[in-house]
Amino acid sequence: MSEETFARYDTADYLQTEADIAAYLEAVMEEGGDDPAYLARALGTVARARNMSALAREVGMSRVGLSKALSGEGNPTLSTVMKVAKALGLKVSIQPAA
């Protein structure tokens, strides 16, 4: 019997287009509800898909600092979230909950 090996699953590998990213983040917002760490972790996934180092330079942070802020363990400011969204070509918006 041969032993099977599996590659580690990484959502970042599947975020190829802006539409993919927008759909992923919409799903995260629906699923994650009020948990800001959930959104931060999702933005970290998108950042990895789009080159964390280049994004960090564009946002004005170190790669390590941005990675930590978007790890789900960090606590990014709203300003950081908005800068990251803008650098990714996204816009943060507020909508009625109903």
Residue 3 belongs to some domain of the structure = no
Residue 34 has pLDDT above 90, yes or no: no
Cα 31 to Cα 49: distance, rounded to the nearest angstrom: 21
Cα 85 to Cα 92: distance, rounded to the nearest angstrom: 7
Cα 62 to Cα 25: distance, rounded to the nearest angstrom: 23
Residue 5 belongs to some domain of the structure = no
Q: Long-range pairs for 76-83 at CB < 8 Å and ≥24 separation?
A: 76/40, 76/43, 81/39, 81/40, 81/43, 83/59
Residue 48 belongs to some domain of the structure = yes
Binning pLDDT at 50, 70 and 90, where does residue 67 land? very high
Residue 65 belongs to some domain of the structure = yes
Residue 2 belongs to some domain of the structure = no
Determine the structural domain holding residue 38 and report its residue range. 11-87
- Mean pLDDT over 30-36 rounds to 80
Q: pTM to 2 decimals?
A: 0.81
Residue 69 belongs to some domain of the structure = yes
